């Protein structure tokens, strides 16, 4: 859910990075945090276990150039991927405006991806939301590791819902695909919120 | 439960600020923050203006929602108040309505009882204002016309330094 503040001239959106454990959700946020200029980001907060696994969530607020005098702020969150943390995953999804599903491309992790996607769908339903109706992109991460599944197979498994959504190959630790993913989901959220004018064709 | 968008106009912001200011005066708290339960800050006053309200909003909403989940496990609908006591400063978080919480930061100049009493009063007043904001159309004024492709691109373009 968006929050539009006409007094502060700010529009706030919430984006959640979802996916199985160790798929690279936190790595996405860490890369964004490392690379954005100070003026476009806030502090990154990570609630992690001693061995750096996400316990509750990571949080990173970022802002883009804005529109018509309003600053557009995107609050980025990750969820804990491990199966037994479903209660906390559900809590993080509250009020979500857009979702990035971070899949692990390795053959050995395909089942976890499918289960996590199903879990995402179930948890969204509890808030009266559906993936098919919301801004949503898929990121196939860890393309540098092997052996990884071919792209069309991943698309067949994870991106064959009511509509095909934009998808990106990524290596989150070195930044490949990270900003393409973020910018695309951000744009989809804005267009859903405010509509997009038809371009005049000459 | 489905979340609803919030649209705060200038007049709403002024009314909310007046309630928060009165709350600070009555309860002798140092800071007050109004936070959506999804973690997004809606308004702040007092020394909150100097704090990292983005992080505080995210963490306080998370603490409050996990406490609510705990309450449900115990058969309660929710715990309506959360209190953290520090050496110098303490924090009181309470329910405004189904979507919003009020966070107060205070020190030894007041007591938890005072904060609790006036938080309840402020919450009622803010709840009425927020109810109105949820019914407002989103696309008004500068945001009435759909975005051009260029505007949508610029407003979503995050670029590495």
Query: Which residues make Cβ contacts (< 8 Å) with residue A32, sequence separation at least 6?
Result: A41, A60, A62, A76, A178, A179, A182, B158
User: How would residue A200 be classed by pLDDT, with cut points 50, 70 and 90?
Assistant: low
Q: Is B13 on the interface with A (CB under 8 A)?
A: yes
Quote the CA–CA distance of A191 and A182 in Å, as a whole number.
14
Give B43's DSSP letter. E
Radius of gyration of chain B (CA): 17
Question: How many domains does one find in chain B?
Answer: 1
**A184: helix, coil or strand?**
helix
Residue of chain A with shortest Cα separation from B152 = A187
Pairing mode, strands A3-5 and B6-8: parallel
Residue B4 has pLDDT above 80, yes or no: no
Q: What is the CATH number of the domain that holds B54?
A: 3.30.450.30
> B49 CB near a chain A CB, below 8 Å?
no
Rounded mean pLDDT, A127-133: 94
Average pLDDT over residues A96-124: 97
| B141 closest CB neighbour out of A6, A45, A187 | A6
Determine the pLDDT at residue B136. 81
Cα–Cα distance, B96 to B60 (Å, whole number): 14
| ipTM of the complex model | 0.91
Q: Does B153 touch chain A (CB under 8 A)?
A: yes
B40-73 pLDDT, tens digit per residue, is: 999 999 987 788 999 999 999 999 998 988 999 9
Question: Averaged over B103-107, what is the pLDDT?
Answer: 96
What does the radius of gyration of chain A's CA atoms come to, in whole angstroms? 17
Interface size between A and B, measured as CB pairs under 8 A = 172
Query: How far is it, in rounded angstroms, from Cα B64 to Cα A2?
Result: 20
Structure tokens belonging to residue B54: 């983005």
Contact of A179 with chain B, judged by CB distance below 8 Å, is answered with yes
Q: Has residue B51 been placed in a domain?
A: yes
| Domain of B115, in residue numbers | 10-154
Helix ranges, B28-101 (H): 53-73
* CB pair distance less than 8 Å for B69 and A87: yes
CATH 3.40.50.300 fits A3-194, yes or no: yes
pLDDT at residue A162, rounded to an integer:
78
Q: What is the pLDDT of residues A141-151, one digit of tens each?
A: 999 997 999 99
CA atoms of A59 and A81, how far apart (whole Å) = 15
Which of A9, A31, A40, A68 should be substituted to probe chain B, the one whose Cβ sees the most B Cβ atoms within 10 Å?
A68
């Amino acid at each position: 859910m968006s929050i539009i503040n006409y007094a502060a001239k700010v529009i706030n959106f919430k984006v959640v990075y979802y996916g199985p454990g160790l798929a690279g959700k936190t790595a996405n946020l860490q890369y964004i945090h490392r690379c954005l200029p100070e003026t476009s980001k806030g502090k990154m907060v990570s609630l992690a276990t001693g061995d750096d696994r996400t316990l509750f969530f990571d949080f990173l607020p970022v802002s883009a150039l804005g529109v018509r005098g309003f600053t557009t702020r995107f609050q980025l969150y990750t969820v804990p991927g491990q199966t037994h943390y479903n209660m906390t995953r559900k809590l993080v999804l509250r009020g979500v405006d857009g979702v990035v599903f971070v899949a692990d491309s390795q053959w050995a992790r395909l089942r976890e991806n499918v289960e996590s996607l199903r879990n995402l769908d179930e948890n969204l339903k509890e808030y009266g939301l559906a993936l098919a109706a919301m801004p949503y992109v898929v990121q196939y991460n860890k393309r540098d590791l092997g052996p990884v599944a071919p792209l069309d197979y991943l698309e067949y498994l994870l991106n064959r819902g009511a509509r095909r959504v934009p998808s990106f190959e990524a290596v989150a630790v070195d930044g490949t695909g990270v900003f393409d993913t973020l910018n695309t989901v951000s744009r989809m959220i804005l267009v859903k919120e405010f509509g997009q004018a038809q371009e005049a064709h000459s | 439960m489905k979340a609803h968008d919030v649209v705060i106009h200038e007049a709403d912001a002024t009314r909310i600020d007046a309630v928060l200011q009165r709350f600070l005066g009555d309860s002798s708290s140092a800071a007050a923050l109004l936070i959506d339960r999804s973690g997004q800050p809606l308004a702040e006053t007092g020394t909150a203006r100097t704090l990292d309200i983005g992080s505080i909003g995210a963490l306080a909403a998370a603490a409050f929602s996990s406490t609510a989940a705990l309450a449900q496990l115990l058969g309660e609908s929710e715990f309506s108040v959360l209190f953290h006591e520090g050496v110098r400063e303490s924090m009181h978080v309470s329910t405004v309505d189904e979507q919003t919480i009020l966070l107060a930061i205070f020190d030894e100049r007041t007591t938890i009882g005072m904060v609790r009493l006036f938080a309840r009063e402020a919450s009622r007043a803010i709840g009425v204002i927020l109810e109105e904001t949820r019914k407002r159309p989103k696309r008004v004024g500068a945001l009435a016309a759909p975005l051009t492709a260029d505007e949508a691109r610029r407003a979503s373009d995050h670029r590495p330094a």
